[in-house]
Amino acid sequence: MELAKVDWNNEWKHQMTQWRTTSGKSCKEFWADPKSAKIYLKEGVGKHQNRINNTLKDLPLEPHMRVIDIGSGPGILAVPMAKQVRSVTTVEPSPGMNRVMQELIQEKNIQNIRCIEKPWEDVEITPELNHRYDLVIASMSLGMTDIREAVEKMVQVSRKYVYIYWHAGIPGWEAMPKAVWPRLFDQEYHGGPKSDILFQVLYQMGIYPNIEVTNEHFHETFTSQSEALEFYCRRFERIQDDHRPVLEEYLSTHLVKGNGGYVHGFDHTTMKFWWKTGEESHALN
Ligand X SMILES: C[S@@+](CC[C@H](N)C(=O)[O-])C[C@H]1O[C@@H](n2cnc3c(N)ncnc32)[C@H](O)[C@@H]1O
Q: How far is CA 195 from the centre of its chain?
A: 13
Residues numbered 167-186 forming contacts with ligand X, rule: CB under 6 A: none
# binding residues, ligand X (CB under 6 A)? 22
**Cβ nearer to ligand X, comparing 82 with 140:** 140
Interface pattern 27-46 for ligand X (x via CB under 6 A): xx--x---------------
Does 141 sit near ligand X (CB under 6 A)?
yes
- Backbone region of residue 192 per phi and psi (left: phi > 0; alpha: psi in -120 to 50; beta: other values): left
Q: Which of 39, 41, 77, 164 binds ligand X (CB under 6 A)?
A: 77
Does 76 sit near ligand X (CB under 6 A)?
yes
Beta-carbon contacts of residue 44 (< 8 Å; ≥ 6 apart): 52, 74, 76
Query: Residue 92 CB, nearest distance to ligand X (Å)?
Result: 6
C-alpha dist (Å) from residue 62 to 59, 66, 69, 81: 9, 9, 15, 10
Residues numbered 145-164 forming contacts with ligand X, rule: CB under 6 A: none
Query: Residue 111 CB, nearest distance to ligand X (Å)?
Result: 21
* DSSP per residue, 172-183: GGGHHHHHHHHH
Per-residue DSSP letter, 100: H
Which amino acid is located at 54 in the chain?
N
For ligand X, which residue has the nearest CB?
Answer: 143
Does 91 sit near ligand X (CB under 6 A)?
yes
The terminus-to-terminus CA distance of the chain in angstroms comes to 44
Q: Which of 120, 181, 222, 250 binds ligand X (CB under 6 A)?
A: 120
Query: Residue 246 CB, nearest distance to ligand X (Å)?
Result: 25
270 class by beta-carbon count within 10 Å (0-12 exposed, 13-18 middle, 19+ buried)? buried
Query: Residue 264 CB, nearest distance to ligand X (Å)?
Result: 16
Residues that bind ligand X (CB under 6 A): 27-28, 31, 70-73, 76-77, 91-94, 97, 119-121, 139-141, 143-144
